[in-house]
Amino acid sequence: QAADSKREQFRRYLEKSGVLDTLTKVLVALYEEPEKPNSALDFLKHHLGVSAPENPETEALRLEVAEMKEKYEAVLEENKKLKTKV
């Protein structure tokens, strides 16, 4: 009976956190696909990634990476110019 109680608690947790609803929506989308994809797992991964809200920290890191790429390109260009002077 303890195992049933744990399962029920876990089910309520999944329901409360929206996991069950999200999984159901993605599985329904897969079911309704006219041409089933070769990899159902890739379909699920893609749709779960798209439907998940963007983490603010992830967005901040994306912006930081973009800034660093710009700085890197500028340093490469400056390095190139300095090498031609030498």
pTM above 0.85, yes or no: no
Low-confidence residues of the chain, pLDDT below 50?
51
pLDDT value for 54: 64
pLDDT value for 45: 86
Give the C-alpha separation, 62 to 56, whole Å.
Answer: 10
Q: Which residue ranges make up each domain of the chain?
A: 1-51, 54-85
- Please report which residue ranges of the chain form alpha helices under DSSP H: 2-17, 19-32, 40-51, 56-85
pLDDT tens-digit readout, 45-69:
888 876 455 677 887 888 899 999 9
